[in-house]
Amino acid sequence: MTNHIYPKFGYLRSKEQADGVVKRHPIVVIGAGPIGLTAALDFAARGQPVVVLDDNDTVSIGSRAVCYAKRPLEIWDRLDCASPMVDRGVSWKVGKVFFHDQLSYQFDLLPESDHQWPAMINLQQYHLEEILVAKCRANPLIDLRWKHRLISLKQPADHATLAVETPDGIFTMEAEWVIACDGANSDTRKMVGAEFTGQFFQDRFLIADVAMKADFPTERWFWFDPPFHPGQSVLLHRQADNIWRIDFQLGWEADPDAERQPERVIPRIRAMLGEDAQFSLEWVSIYQFACRRIDNFRQGRVLFAGDAAHQVSPFGARGANTGVQDIDNLAWKLAMVLRGEAPEALLDSYHEERAYAADDNILNSTRATDFITPKTKVSRYFRDAVLELAQHHGFARPLVNSGRLSVPTPYATSALNTPDEDFAIGEMRPGTNAADAPISVAGKPSWFLHCLGDGFTVVTFGKATDKTGIAIGPLAAKIIRVGRDIEDPSGLLAARYGASPGTTYLFRPDQYVAARWSGFDETKIIEAMLRATGQDSARHPAGQKELAA
Amino acid sequence: MMLNLAPNIADPDDFYAELVNSQRNLDEEQALRMNARLILLLANHIGDRTVLTEAIARARAAG
Ligand SMILES: Cc1cc2nc3c(=O)[nH]c(=O)nc-3n(C[C@H](O)[C@H](O)[C@H](O)COP(=O)(O)OP(=O)(O)OC[C@H]3O[C@@H](n4cnc5c(N)ncnc54)[C@H](O)[C@@H]3O)c2cc1C
Q: What is the ipTM of this complex?
A: 0.97
Does the pLDDT of residue A542 top 60, yes or no? no
- For a mutational test of ligand 1's pocket, the pick from A55, A57, A132, i.e. the residue with the most ligand atoms closer than 8 A to its C-beta, is A55
* Structure confidence at residue B62 (pLDDT): 78
- The Cα–Cα gap between A109 and A70 comes to 10
Per-residue confidence band for B63, with pLDDT thresholds at 50, 70 and 90: low
Distance in angstroms between the alpha carbons of the first and the last residue of chain B: 24
Work out the average pLDDT over A203-227: 94
Q: How crowded is residue A139: how many other Cβ atoms within 10 Å of its Cβ?
A: 19
Per-residue confidence band for A537, with pLDDT thresholds at 50, 70 and 90: low
Work out the average pLDDT over A90-112: 92
A 322-381 → B contacts, CB under 8 A: 378, 381
- Residue B37's Cβ-count burial label (10 Å; 0-12, 13-18, 19+) is middle
3-state SS assignment for residue A547? helix
- The Cα–Cα gap between A525 and A516 comes to 9
Which residue is closest to B42 within chain A, CA to CA?
Answer: A395
Does the pLDDT of residue A549 top 60, yes or no? no
Q: Give the model confidence (pLDDT) of A364-378 as tens digits.
A: 999 999 999 999 999
* Structure confidence at residue A467 (pLDDT): 96
Q: How crowded is residue A237: how many other Cβ atoms within 10 Å of its Cβ?
A: 24
* Structure confidence at residue B18 (pLDDT): 98
> Is B36 within 8 Å of A381 when comparing Cβ atoms?
yes
- The Cα–Cα gap between A353 and A363 comes to 16
Nearest CA to ligand 1 atom 5: A65
* Structure confidence at residue A421 (pLDDT): 87
Q: How crowded is residue A242: how many other Cβ atoms within 10 Å of its Cβ?
A: 12
Work out the average pLDDT over B59-63: 84
- For a mutational test of ligand 1's pocket, the pick from A29, A35, A204, i.e. the residue with the most ligand atoms closer than 8 A to its C-beta, is A35
Nearest CA to ligand 1 atom 53: A64
> Is A389 within 8 Å of B41 when comparing Cβ atoms?
yes
Q: Are the CB atoms for A236 and A244 separated by under 8 Å?
A: yes
Q: How crowded is residue B49: how many other Cβ atoms within 10 Å of its Cβ?
A: 10
Mean of all residue pLDDT scores within chain A: 94
Name all domains of chain A by residue range, CATH numbers in brackets. Answer: 15-85+116-197+290-367 (3.50.50.60), 438-548 (3.40.30.120)
Centre of ligand 1 to C-alpha A33, Å, is 6
A382 CA: distance to closest CA in chain B (Å): 5
User: Exposure string (b/e) for A426-451, b if CB count within 10 Å is 16 or more?
Assistant: bebebbbbbbbbbbeeeeeeebbbeb
The amino acid at residue A357 is A
Does the pLDDT of residue A424 top 80, yes or no? no
In short, whether A284's Cβ falls inside 6 Å of ligand 1 is no
What share of chain A in percent tops pLDDT 90? 91
Centre of ligand 1 to C-alpha A30, Å, is 12
Q: Are the CB atoms for A478 and A486 separated by under 8 Å?
A: no
> Is A382 within 8 Å of B39 when comparing Cβ atoms?
yes
Per-residue confidence band for A4, with pLDDT thresholds at 50, 70 and 90: confident
**Domain extents for chain B?**
27-63
> Is B33 within 8 Å of A385 when comparing Cβ atoms?
yes
* Structure confidence at residue A547 (pLDDT): 42
Work out the average pLDDT over A231-239: 96
Nearest to A389 among B29, B35, B40 (CB): B40
* Structure confidence at residue A461 (pLDDT): 96
In short, whether A163's Cβ falls inside 6 Å of ligand 1 is no
Per DSSP bridges, beta strands A120-122 and A90-92 are: antiparallel
Number of H helices, E strands in chain B: 3, 0
* Structure confidence at residue A191 (pLDDT): 98
Q: Give the model confidence (pLDDT) of A145-167 as tens digits.
A: 999 999 999 999 899 999 999 99
Per-residue confidence band for A548, with pLDDT thresholds at 50, 70 and 90: very low
Q: Are the CB atoms for A221 and A104 separated by under 8 Å?
A: no
* Structure confidence at residue A546 (pLDDT): 44
Centre of ligand 1 to C-alpha A5, Å, is 19
Centre of ligand 1 to C-alpha A201, Å, is 19
Query: Of residues A277 and B34, which shows the higher confidence score?
Result: B34
Does the pLDDT of residue A234 top 50, yes or no? yes
B22 CA: distance to closest CA in chain A (Å): 17
* Structure confidence at residue A539 (pLDDT): 54
C-alpha torsion angle, residues A483, A489, A492, A493 (rounded to 10): -20
Work out the average pLDDT over A505-524: 97
Does the pLDDT of residue A538 top 60, yes or no? no
Centre of ligand 1 to C-alpha A10, Å, is 20
- The Cα–Cα gap between A472 and A508 comes to 15
Work out the average pLDDT over A428-441: 97
Q: Give the model confidence (pLDDT) of A243-287 as tens digits.
A: 999 999 999 999 999 999 999 999 999 999 998 889 999 999 999
In short, whether A317's Cβ falls inside 6 Å of ligand 1 is yes
Q: Are the CB atoms for A520 and A502 separated by under 8 Å?
A: yes
Does A216 contact chain B (CB < 8 Å)? no
Work out the average pLDDT over B9-26: 97
B37 contact residues in A (CB cutoff 8 A): 385, 388-389
> Is A395 within 8 Å of B39 when comparing Cβ atoms?
no
A388 contact residues in B (CB cutoff 8 A): 37
Q: Give the model confidence (pLDDT) of A159-194 as tens digits.
A: 999 999 999 999 999 999 999 999 999 999 999 999
Does the pLDDT of residue A545 top 80, yes or no? no
Per DSSP bridges, beta strands A90-92 and A438-441 are: unpaired
Q: Are the CB atoms for A298 and A354 separated by under 8 Å?
A: no
